Amino acid sequence: MNRSWLAAFVLALSGCEDEPEQDSSFATEKSPFAEGSREARAAVAFLNDAATDAARLKSAGLSSTSTANAVLSRRNGPDGQLGTSDDRPFVTLGEFDAIKGIGPATISKVAAYARARSFGNERGRFHQVYFTEQQADLVLDLANTASVSLLDSETSVDSRALKNIEAARPILSMAELASLSRVKGTALRLLRDHAYKQLGPIVCTHEEPCANGLFCTDSDNTGHCVDTSVDGSGVPCSADGACGPELVCAGRAADFSGICNPAWMHAEFVNEGSGSIPDGPDGGVGVSVQALGIGTVPTDAVVRVLINHPRPDDLELTLENSQGTVVPVWSPGMGELPDLDGIKVGVPGDEVANGMWTLTVFDTVAGEQGTIDLFTLELTSRFD
């Protein structure tokens, strides 16, 4: 046998794993997601995450080591080290798409993997206006796709702000939207409310039932029209707490991976009102949110608060559901409140999820006064 031929054959076999993967559609089709969409933002955030390495990229759908390394090389810059001055983080999905071997099929896998793990979440406060994850998604969708002339006729947003939004498309984040000239608190609030009205859940009542086979979460009062038959519903969450498209991981705990439920069973409810916290232990201030449109009983609860108080270590917070059950949220001596990072709260898993929830703030030591400026309650639920 010709030894040179054999050597070449062995070398070719050894290099097979490192050949760039050939996404069969990458040369002929454009990216499956628009820039600024939730999928695009999730993929970009995942690619830029410091924990994303070659192994993680393979888990997300890149089967070739050489392609994964090319992605990391592009992100990390010439020195190959993340976190240095020559880094080149991805800004757009198109930059990822431009890498050899990356195309629509791979992008779709990466976006699904990233979104299932909450990458691209734009929840936050911008110009003192709070956006839930869902509201941020809807506003960015509206800002990138809606007709400016239609928005001008249907909202009270300053026409100059709308023109600046149109000129900036695609808008890739809430921070970018909020940085635009004339897009301040009033414009953001108007856009948020209009986006939710136009693109948010369909409301149903006994008098206005759902159409097209959808289910009303509360036909006796007010609910949302939802699809109860989502593929993958009822299966265990993955080891890292992720589920498939249109699903949410419910009931995940240290000793339980959780169950995948339809995504509509998860929502965040907001009270942006301000209330004074009485000085001293003789009284408290309560702020409430109305939960609706989710499952019948809660599995997970997260409280977010913005409190202005000179001695937050003196504060005690409790949460009460519509059935009068009170659970602790924060106790004196626990230190600074985590603000919008959220506080996980144990709530009764066999009592009603929908209805009024009240957060009460007590000042346990006299001498200082403060205010609560924001309260949100994020609930994940299930059917009982």
pLDDT at 11: 39
pLDDT of 15 above 50: no
96 and 135 assigned to the same domain? no
pLDDT at 254: 84
Mean pLDDT, the chain, integer: 92
pLDDT of 80 above 50: yes
User: What confidence tens digit (pLDDT) does each residue in 300-321 have?
Assistant: 999 999 999 999 999 999 999 9
pLDDT of 17 above 90: no
Per the domain annotation, does 253 fall within a domain?
Answer: no
pLDDT of 26 above 60: no
* Least confident range of 2-6, 41-45, 88-92, 323-327: 2-6
Q: What is the DSSP string of 130-162?
A: EE-HHHHHHHHHHHHHS-HHHHHHHS---HHHH
Q: Which of 142, 165, 199 is the last residue before a domain boundary?
A: 199
Distance CA 88, CA 154 (A): 40
User: What confidence tens digit (pLDDT) does each residue in 287-297 have?
Assistant: 999 999 999 99
Query: Which residues constitute the domain of residue 350?
Result: 266-382
User: What confidence tens digit (pLDDT) does each residue in 225-279 have?
Assistant: 999 999 999 999 999 999 999 999 999 988 899 999 999 999 999 999 989 999 9
- What's the distance, Cα to Cα, between the start and end of the chain in Å? 72
What's the average model confidence in pLDDT over 377-384? 96
349 and 290 assigned to the same domain? yes
Per the domain annotation, does 141 fall within a domain?
Answer: yes
**342 SS3 class:** coil
Is residue 279 a contact partner of residue 363, using CB atoms and an 8 Å limit?
Answer: yes
Distance CA 273, CA 218 (A): 26
pLDDT at 39: 97
Per the domain annotation, does 222 fall within a domain?
Answer: no
Distance CA 282, CA 272 (A): 25
Query: What pTM does this model have?
Result: 0.90
Question: Which helix (H) or strand (E) is 340 found in, with range?
Answer: none
pLDDT at 110: 98
276 and 378 assigned to the same domain? yes
Q: Which of 362, 257, 367 is nearest to 320 (CA)?
A: 362
What's the average model confidence in pLDDT over 29-48? 93
150 and 79 assigned to the same domain? no
Cβ-proximal residues to 367 (8 Å cutoff; 6+ apart), any chain: 279, 280, 311
Residues 244, 139, 40, 145, CA torsion sign: positive
What's the average model confidence in pLDDT over 87-115? 96
pLDDT of 144 above 90: yes
pLDDT at 16: 42
> Which position has the higher pLDDT, 11 or 336?
336
The pLDDT > 90 percentage for the chain reads 86
163 and 180 assigned to the same domain? yes
Per the domain annotation, does 137 fall within a domain?
Answer: yes
pLDDT at 197: 95
User: What confidence tens digit (pLDDT) does each residue in 53-76 have?
Assistant: 999 999 999 989 999 999 999 999
pLDDT at 28: 44
Q: Which of 116, 145, 165 is the last residue before a domain boundary?
A: 116
Residues 284, 290, 295, 301, CA torsion sign: negative
243 backbone dihedrals φ, ψ, rounded to 5°: -130, 180
pLDDT at 29: 61
**Quick one: pLDDT band at residue 31, thresholds 50, 70, 90?**
confident
User: What confidence tens digit (pLDDT) does each residue in 176-228 have?
Assistant: 999 999 999 999 999 999 999 999 999 999 899 998 889 999 988 899 999 99
Maximal C-alpha separation, the chain: 95
pLDDT of 40 above 80: yes
Beta bridge partners of 261: 248
**251 SS3 class:** coil
Is residue 53 a contact partner of residue 131, using CB atoms and an 8 Å limit?
Answer: no
E strands, the chain, are 124-126, 129-131, 203-204, 215-216, 223-226, 247-250, 259-262, 266-271, 275-277, 284-291, 297-308, 315-320, 326-330, 343-345, 355-363, 370-382
pLDDT at 280: 86
Distance CA 63, CA 45 (A): 20
63 and 155 assigned to the same domain? no
The enclosing domain of 340 has a CATH number of 2.60.120.260
Q: Which of 157, 180, 199 is the last residue before a domain boundary?
A: 199
